[in-house]
Structure 1
């Protein structure tokens, strides 16, 4: 999955660091990400900015490290960067395709923090400006002291199995057209297992039993922590589709499942495990 970057090690401890010319930077603007594209698409270093490097470094905040590589976020409200012979803007959808995996993970982690900082410029309680905390990863109101942390929303991914088949779904009204598993966010006052039961019933009108935890995944694309579960059908397999959420839901045998899945997401990993007969 996208966070599985071994042998590289991800360090997300909060620190305040000063960038160096060989430090890496991420710059987002209008849904686009500035990348070095000389040989392959990669996250650029400050030294690639030449005459703008010092100003960009002064307008940046430390995010995290991978091994000994430090990554910084350049504030687009303090400096405007443009394309050069070696730097080019790409739509952020390119992040899923960046290689190797640790580059993709670094980019989506930075995008999640950029979204947090950009959406927390003003206090939701009193409307005053917010400022970055000097002691933790948060935004603090300059007037009332309200403190806001990066949003991490828990969501479940559910693989429902019946008579050797897996229930695969497709979203309604989205650009994403591959098959997926039933998924949904946890509501207030419920456990993750209760979320599993509710989401399956809401989306396809089915009951499940023998709910088993599989694993979890940070998913910066939607500010989520995804929690995967296996479950068995309890009762009739007749689907009652919520057409506001899904366009289709099909019971599929392993040999009928398409091969167009990647190794980025928890959803795809679970589908491929079932397809290859590796579900315990």
Structure 2
């Protein structure tokens, strides 16, 4: 999965004023976060590639091993790209090599998105200021504190144990997309287990039992912390598809399931475990 970067070590301990070094990596995004600045080798540029004024605007994010990553906001995004650098789609994080750079990119993107979306206090409208003691924004007028946004959600692999089949779906509006599992965000006042049961019922009209936790994954593409569960079909196997969210829902045997890429998503890993007879 994308967060599995061993033997590299991710350290997100907060540092208010870490000194910028010329060799530190810089994450700079376009306004819509769809593109990221890279060098001719497809790697993130170093701080030395930028002017002194731009370096003053850089914010420390985290380190991976001894490599520090900073963000740069308000970079002039003109048709003429900075010398030796160019904009690439941020979707490259899924396939970036070495893999730990893809994890760094998408994690940095989540923090940049949080920063951009919290310039003002949602309670009183006063401009927010960065905290000096933790990763947060503070309102000096009303005392409101805003922390990075993390949305809990679930992925559910529904297994028909009697016929040894797995329920697979495709999202609506994604032609030719890969198979997926049932997934959704938790609602207020809801446990993760309750979310799993509700999402399965809402999306495919099925009941489940014997819910078992498998693993979790930070999915920074959507500010999500995912919890993966396996569950057994309880009763009828007749799929009643929620057409607004899904275009397809099918039961497939182990032999019918295509080989999955397990390097990125929890979904792929869970499907592959079932295909290989590990579940």
Match of 1:80 among 71, 76, 79: 76
Shift of 1:57: 1.6
The Cα offsets for residues 234-270 of structure 1, whole Å up to 9 and x where unpaired, read as 0010001111111110001122112353410100100
Change (3 A) 1:176 1:190: farther
Q: Deviations over 1:16-66 (max 9, x none)?
A: 202110111100113321011x23x111111233xx2x2222111100000
Rounded to whole Å, the distance in 2 between the matches of 1:197 and 1:71 is 39
Partners in 1 of 2:252 and 2:171 — Cα distance? Answer: 17
Structure 2: how far apart are the matches of 1:149 and 1:194? 26
1:63 aligned partner = 61
| SS of aligned partner of 2:274 | helix
1:85 Cα deviation (Å)? 4.7
Identify which of 141, 151, 154 aligns with 1:153. 151
Match of 1:207 in 2: 207
Q: TM-score, normalised by structure 1?
A: 0.93
Where does residue 111 of structure 1 map in the other structure? 109
Compute the displacement of 1:230 (Å): 0.3
Provide the C-alpha distance between the structure 1 equivalents of 2:45 and 2:164, rounded to a whole number of angstroms: 47
For 1:24, the equivalent position in structure 2 comes to: 25
SS in structure 1 of the partner of residue 244 of structure 2: coil
Distance 1:175 1:226, change over 3 A: farther
| Pair 260,192 (structure 1): closer, same or farther in 2 beyond 3 Å | closer
Question: Match of 1:155, SS?
Answer: strand
Query: Does the residue aligned with 1:15 lie in a helix, a strand or coil?
Result: coil
Distance 2:177 2:262 in 1: 14
Indicate yes or no: 2:30 matched with 1:34. no
Tell me the equivalent position of 1:102: 100
- Paired position in structure 2 for 1:255: 255
2:125 aligned to 124, 127, 142, which one? 127
When the two structures are aligned, how many residues end up with a matched partner?
272
On the 8 A contact 2:260/2:269 being kept in 1, the answer is: no
1: distance between equivalents of 2:99 and 2:69? 16
RMSD: 1.5
* Partner SS state of residue 29, structure 1: coil
* Residues 153 and 224, structure 2, Cα contact 8 Å, conserved in 1: yes
Ranges of 4+ aligned residues in structure 1 off by more than 3 Å: none
